């Protein structure tokens, strides 16, 4: 507990942390507004006896008992706090001084403090929204729909679903685990087993859920349920005003994932990479994690479109989102939070996802290998991935260094996908410019130094003219590399 409190103090105030100096044995009036805001939003931690800048001031030991009593009486007084809350106040000793700690969980109800409604904001702290009916309506909606994927659509039947996609997923699960329980289930039984058919025991309503519609619904059914639903993929390298290529996806999540991966494979390089002594498809591993995380953690009822954009100097993606952290995500020190746990669990069953939290860690890990550093991930009302890289030169430049070493030292007769293309292309002599047209490389100097010269040095390519600077120089693949 003490170490956690020290960590809270070190990180400072934020959307889920508040410090109150609380000197002279008096509770600040604002503490109740903060309790209300925390309970209405994400919950949070309150430290009494700590200044706004994180200095531990402590509290007079003789005043602690009365302060605890005053706090408890107020939050249990329905005329001041409605509905009342039942919170405990803990005494903690830090740096030889006594402070008070209050944990405020996120509530399933909307709370009023002195007839006012407060919510918590990362930028503005406690906000009074009493005179903002739209914000109040949104707050109630958020309380009612913690997980919108569980919304029941009683008008949906098995006939509205893609049974071919259900069968495909069953096959994927069985390939992954031969005795998977889905193997001998009917489609209806499989959907119930996966939590995609539910009963609301309060209202008596039952049926297939939004998660089921998103995973298996026919396109027209999905668009009827969620008219705003789409995933927009854009390539913007040469035509920066519009785009060079685009895929506007408005289909089920299974085929959406496949189309995202096809778009990535079409436009981004696939570097050679060894994990241990096995060659792996680094591009596929990395962007699978990105695609899966954006599909299974999206807030689908939010009208903000999901999009992935590839530009010359960056890749970025955005999603409508119900935020949990608010702010930049640290992959090494973040608490995983399932935003669509049913969809996440389904993806795990078919082998597309691992344990909760592994996706963010894998994105950070493989992005560093792919391009040298990880993208910025931000959790807010819009979830954002922002990756400032040169999508082509930087990646191929970085990978080509790795290729030279790995080809020489580890796998002398294995080459990158790019180099395989070059060697096939150069069965007949080709100029440097001609070779570059199949590589997406834009710098002649880098291409020569990092790709062509290592191939020549390794004896995989030869020049057609003795002088390396000959104006009509071409390059041809060495057909018998054993000689």
Structure confidence by residue, pLDDT tens digits, 313-369:
889 999 988 776 678 887 766 555 667 878 887 998 898 877 555 678 888 888 888
Q: Domain 231-388, what architecture?
A: 2-Layer Sandwich (3.30)
Structure confidence by residue, pLDDT tens digits, 357-401:
567 888 888 888 887 778 888 888 888 999 887 655 555 455 445
Q: Which has more pLDDT, 72 or 399?
A: 72
Structure confidence by residue, pLDDT tens digits, 450-461:
889 888 988 889
Which of 290-294, 414-418, 479-483 has the least mean pLDDT?
A: 479-483
Count of CB atoms situated within 10 Å of the CB of 207: 16
**404 pLDDT above the threshold of 60:** no
Q: Is 483 exposed, middle or buried (0-12, 13-18, 19+ CB in 10 A)?
A: exposed
- For 393-477, CATH gives 1.10.10
> Hey, do 2-143 and 231-388 end up sharing a CATH topology, with the first three levels equal?
no
What's the pLDDT at 261? 93
CATH number for 2-143: choose from 1.10.287.70, 3.30.950.30, 3.40.50.2000, 1.10.620.20.
3.30.950.30
What's the pLDDT at 335? 54
Give the single-character DSSP code of 150. G
What's the pLDDT at 415? 44
**70 pLDDT above the threshold of 70:** yes
pTM confidence score = 0.57
What number is the average pLDDT over the span 165-187? 91
Q: Where are the domains of the chain?
A: 2-143, 148-225, 231-388, 393-477
Q: Exposure pattern of 372-394 as b/e (b: 16+ CB <10 Å)?
A: eebbebbbeeebbbebebbbbbe
* Residue 22 CA to its chain's centroid (Å): 39
Strands (E), 287-381: 306-311, 314-320, 327-328, 376-379
Instruction: Tell me the C-alpha distance between 146 and 342, whole Å.
Output: 13
Structure confidence by residue, pLDDT tens digits, 259-285:
999 999 888 887 777 777 677 788 888
Contact 349, 173 (CB under 8 A): yes
Instruction: Tell me the C-alpha distance between 100 and 89, whole Å.
Output: 6
Which residue bears the tokens 């990978």?
399
What's the pLDDT at 483? 42
The structure tokens listed for 31 are 């503490």
User: Where residue 163 falls among pLDDT bands split at 50, 70, 90?
Assistant: very high
- Of 389, 362, 303, give the one whose Cα is nearest residue 354: 362
Structure confidence by residue, pLDDT tens digits, 122-133:
888 899 999 998
What number is the average pLDDT over the span 222-247? 93
Instruction: Tell me the C-alpha distance between 204 and 199, whole Å.
Output: 7
Torsion angle in degrees (nearest 10) through CA of 458, 461, 465, 471: -110
Percent of the chain with pLDDT over 70: 87
Q: Cα–Cα–Cα angle for 397, 402, 404, nearest 5°?
A: 95
Contact 336, 357 (CB under 8 A): yes
């Amino acid at each position: 507990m003490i170490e956690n409190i020290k960590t809270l103090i070190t990180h400072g105030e934020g959307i889920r942390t508040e410090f109150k100096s609380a000197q002279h044995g008096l509770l600040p009036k604002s503490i109740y507004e903060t309790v209300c805001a925390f309970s209405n939003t994400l919950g949070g931690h309150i430290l009494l006896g700590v200044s706004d800048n994180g200095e531990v001031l402590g509290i007079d030991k003789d005043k602690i008992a009365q302060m605890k009593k005053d706090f408890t009486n107020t939050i249990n007084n329905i005329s001041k706090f409605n509905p009342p809350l039942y919170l405990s106040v803990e005494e903690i000793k830090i740096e030889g001084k006594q402070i008070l700690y209050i944990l405020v969980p996120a509530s399933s109800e909307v709370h009023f403090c002195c007839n006012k409604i407060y919510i918590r904001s990362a930028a503005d702290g406690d906000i009074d929204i009493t005179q903002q009916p739209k914000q109040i309506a949104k707050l109630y909606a958020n309380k009612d729909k913690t997980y919108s994927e569980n919304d029941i659509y009683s008008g949906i039947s098995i006939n509205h679903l893609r049974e071919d996609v259900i069968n495909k997923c069953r096959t994927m699960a069985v390939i992954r685990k031969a005795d998977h329980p889905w193997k001998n289930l009917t489609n209806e039984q499989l959907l119930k087993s996966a939590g995609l058919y539910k009963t609301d025991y309060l209202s008596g309503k039952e049926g297939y859920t939004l998660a089921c519609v998103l995973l298996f619904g026919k396109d027209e059914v999905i668009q009827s349920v969620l008219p705003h639903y789409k995933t927009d993929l854009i390539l913007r390298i040469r035509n920066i005003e519009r785009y060079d290529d685009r895929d506007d996806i408005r289909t089920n999540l299974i085929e959406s994932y496949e189309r995202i991966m096809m778009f990535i494979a079409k436009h981004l390089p696939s570097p050679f990479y060894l994990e241990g002594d096995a060659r792996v498809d680094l591009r596929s591993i990395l962007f699978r994690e990105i695609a899966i995380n954006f599909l299974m953690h999206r807030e689908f009822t939010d009208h903000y479109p999901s999009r992935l954009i590839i530009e010359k100097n960056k890749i970025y993606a955005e999603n409508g989102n119900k935020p949990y952290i608010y702010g930049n995500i640290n992959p090494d020190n973040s608490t995983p939070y399932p935003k669509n746990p049913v969809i996440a669990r389904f993806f795990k069953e078919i082998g597309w996802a691992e344990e909760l939290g592994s996706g963010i860690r894998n994105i950070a890990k493989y992005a560093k290998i792919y391009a040298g550093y990880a993208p910025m991930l931000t959790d807010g009302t819009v979830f954002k991935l922002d990756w400032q890289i040169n999508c082509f030169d930087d990646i191929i430049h970085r990978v080509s260094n790795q290729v030279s070493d790995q080809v020489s030292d580890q796998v002398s007769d294995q080459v990158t996908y790019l180099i395989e293309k070059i060697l096939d292309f150069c069965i007949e002599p080709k100029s440097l410019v001609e070779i570059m047209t199949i590589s997406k490389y834009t710098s002649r100097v880098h291409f020569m130094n990092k790709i062509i010269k290592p191939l020549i040095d390794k004896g995989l390519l030869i020049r057609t003219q003795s002088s390396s600077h000959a104006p009509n120089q071409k390059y041809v693949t060495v057909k018998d590399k054993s000689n």
